[in-house]
Chains A and B, each alone.
Chain A
Amino acid sequence: MNCQKCQEKIVEALAAGTPVLPPEVTTHQKACSACAQFYEAQQQLFGSIDAGLRSLVNQLVPPSLLPLVRSSLQAKPATPGAWASGFRLAAIAAIAILAVTVAFVLRVPHANSPSRQESSVATRQISAGLPAPQPARQSANVSRVDRTKQHGTSRASSSTPKVIVLAEERDAFTRFVSEVPEAGAGTLALAQPAQPENDAPTEIALLRIEPLDVKPIDSSSRK
């Protein structure tokens, strides 16, 4: 064993707190005075470290520590106190605000959506066996009249669509339905634009489209 190896072993043994050195180190130390001196110096160093740490840590505890803590305990509860109940209130308020906001956000686009406005027109179209027209502003009057007269019964969901017609319009509507072609050769159009504030029934007329004559474009005419 050389001196460097021996000194490493000495440091490791002292750092590990092992009281007895390995036998090969003891043998080398007896023959090498430098390593014996190194061992003495390291033993002193580790002894000083231990003593320094002990004096650093094992200080007398001030007698005021525990009474001070005990007096502070009187003021502070162990269980969650006022801050916790405050936090709970804040959480409930936040949830309530969130719920109201979500309800408002979900309700607003639904109220203005065109699907709701066209519902009454679509109802008429289903019973008439015709393709549904484009949702138009004019149809709003019709649906509003129906809803106001029937006190909301038109909103009731039903598997078979119903047509709600005013009593004075009943004959006209029957005549209108009987005139509608079966195969959808025509489409419905509103005869006059309705004003939003006008609740009068809208007049619906049948629009006829003549068959178109489709011809291929002459190649010579393009030149």
Chain B
Amino acid sequence: MQELALIQPGRTFDGESLREIERARQRREFESCLAECGPLAYRVAHGVLRNSADAEDTAQEALLRAYQKFHRLQDLTRFRAWLVRITFRLALDRWRSARRRQRRETEWARPELQPPLPTAEEVAVSNAFQARLEQALDELPERLRLVLVLAAIDGYTLEEVAGMLGVPVGTVKSRLFFARKALAEKLR
């Protein structure tokens, strides 16, 4: 796309003007990517964190980081893959720190102050399978977990997932196979 800039008559382009034009161009490019890839970042984060507020924070942080490093990205078609990696890393970091905090609090809390365990009926009412699935998902290796999350997002084919991960389609299929098999074994 051709870039047009309005300048006053008699005004020449100095270094600062050129930098401003470059910044404006990058901003426009990033905004066009943002509309397309913002929801993807949120869904990847939600797939790891399973919490709307945390997922939103993580997606926002990932998008801002991507914007700050946007000038380093040489190939714009790699933006989606790049953003997915940033988001997944950030989400994993947040998930790990939350798990550590939860473990610490559980160890320090006195058992008599803990809420009573849910009854069988309550477990049945709540989606027990979903809870087990999420736990099983947490126990999977990172690369298998990411491919499961990406493949489950609506609207992306296996070829697109392979493009995001920078691996061949055969590798995506093989990872999906092992991930689903491992999940089934844990849930059986």
What's the tally of chain A residues with a CB closer than 8 Å to chain B? 35
Q: Is the interface of A mostly helix, strand, loop or mixed?
A: helix
Cβ-neighbour of B129 out of A42, A48, A59 (below 8 A): A48
Instruction: In the complex, identify which listed stretch (B67-75, B102-110, B115-123) lies at the interface while the others stay far away.
Output: B67-75
Docked complex Cα distance between A54 and B154 (Å): 8
Docked complex Cα distance between A173 and B62 (Å): 86
Nearest B-chain residue to A59, judged by Cβ: B46
Cβ-neighbour of B50 out of A11, A56, A69, A76 (below 8 A): A56
Instruction: In the complex, identify which listed stretch (B2-10, B93-101, B145-153, B160-168) lies at the interface while the others stay far away.
Output: B145-153
Cβ-neighbour of A65 out of B30, B42, B68, B177 (below 8 A): B42
Docked complex Cα distance between A48 and B149 (Å): 15
A49, B31: Cβ atoms closer than 8 Å: no
Flag A43-60 by CB within 8 Å of B: 1 or 0 each: 001101110111111110
Q: Which of B42-64 contact A (CB under 8 A)?
A: 42-44, 46-47, 50, 52, 55-56, 59-60, 63-64
Q: Which of A56-91 contact B (CB under 8 A)?
A: 56-59, 61-62, 64-66, 68-70, 72-73, 76-80
Tell me if B133 counts as interface (CB < 8 A to partner A).
yes
Docked complex Cα distance between A42 and B185 (Å): 10
A76, B129: Cβ atoms closer than 8 Å: no
What's the tally of chain B residues with a CB closer than 8 Å to chain A? 48
B177, A15: Cβ atoms closer than 8 Å: yes
B129, A79: Cβ atoms closer than 8 Å: no
B71, A78: Cβ atoms closer than 8 Å: yes
Tell me if A12 counts as interface (CB < 8 A to partner B).
yes
B43, A57: Cβ atoms closer than 8 Å: yes
Docked complex Cα distance between A16 and B175 (Å): 10
B133, A45: Cβ atoms closer than 8 Å: no
Across chains A and B, which 8 residue pairs bring their CB atoms closest together, nearest first?
A: A53-B152, A15-B181, A52-B133, A61-B39, A15-B180, A57-B47, A57-B152, A78-B26
Q: B interface vs A, CB < 8 Å?
A: 19, 22-23, 26-27, 30-31, 34-35, 38-39, 42-44, 46-47, 50, 52, 55-56, 59-60, 63-64, 67-68, 70-71, 129-130, 133-134, 137, 148-149, 152-154, 173, 176-178, 180-181, 183-184, 187-188
